[in-house]
Amino acid sequence: MPDNDYTIPPLPSSYRAQLSDAEFARLSAFIYNVAGIKMPPAKRIMLQSRLQKRLRELGMDSFKEYTEYLLSERGKQEELIQMLDVVSTNKTDFFREPVHFDFLRETILPAHYQASGARPIKIWSAACSSGEEPYTIAMTIAEYCRIKGVQYDYSIVGTDISTKVLKMAENAVYKMDKIEGMPLEILHRYFLRSKDRANPTVRVIPELRRHVKVQRMNFMDETYPINETFDVVFCRNVLIYFDRPTQEKVIGKLCTKLKQGGYFFLGHSESIMNMSLPLQAVRPTIFRKI
């Protein structure tokens, strides 16, 4: 069939919509107020690109129309969560920054098991994204139990602002590229492989999934809807999107849910230097509540 039998389809009207400096300023200020996420001018094109999908789905032709809707009372009820799902960054991997999981396995778990006996260890993955972090924590604990030959109960709570990634975390189904480079014995012990050879995926085994519960939470909420305290809190690679005052405020609120002597993990690009917090450094990016 000759090429002249084809034509270039027109772009949807939402793709032709441009995010003006004025609308970007309104949207970025709103995103900062509701989610604490910084949107400097350099991110205008990124924001425009991500929100064009929402314009298409809502049948809107301009960012002015979308902004007016989002900032209305109706929009805050109907669109806010959808918008945050689109603009929030959710990059994560299994065993990311592995030194943290080595410290959990080699230091925290033996000390907690010896001190508490049968009491379960409680861990909070406070920016869990699509679930790779909480399931890595679960695998680390399972490996500790297997190697030491002990029975050790645990619970992991995963929270995130995005309902989309929380659904992925709850399902615990991942594409094959997510497990590239993982040791074969870990894959064999803790993942099931789909029977669909055309679209292969893996799923975390139910023995680990039953220890992980997820729920939506916004770091900007005045109080956090978590009714328990934890032995360990992971909050890694999310605070970089906040300014320093917001970072300090968020970590302070997270610490209210951390037990005395409990451990707090940050991402390797994050710091609490010059912050007034009840945390004492144990290793770089590893802290203990004092």
112/240 same-domain check: yes
| 279 and 170, same domain (yes or no) | yes
Q: How far apart are CA 18 and CA 48, in angstroms?
A: 7
d(CA 87, CA 12): 20
Question: Same domain, yes or no, for 54 and 193?
Answer: no
Please indicate, yes or no, whether the overall pTM of this predicted structure exceeds 0.75.
yes
Give yes or no for a contact between 202 and 173, defined as CB atoms under 8 angstroms apart: yes
Is beta strand 121-125 parallel, antiparallel or unpaired with respect to 230-235? Answer: parallel
CATH number of 224's domain = 3.40.50.150
| 83 and 115 inside one domain | no
The catalytic position among 50, 56, 193, 288 is 50
Q: Which domain holds residue 168?
A: 99-289
44, 54, 160, 231: the active-site residue: 160
Max intra-chain CA distance, the chain:
76
pLDDT tens digits, one per residue of 33-66? 887 777 888 888 888 888 888 898 888 888 999 9
**201 and 177 Cβ atoms separated by less than 8 Å:** no
Structure tokens at 266: 């940050």
Q: Can you name the residues that pair with 249 across neighbouring β-strands?
A: none
| 102 annotated active-site | no
146 in catalytic set: no
**pLDDT tens string 192-241:** 998 888 888 999 999 999 999 999 999 988 889 899 999 999 999 888 88
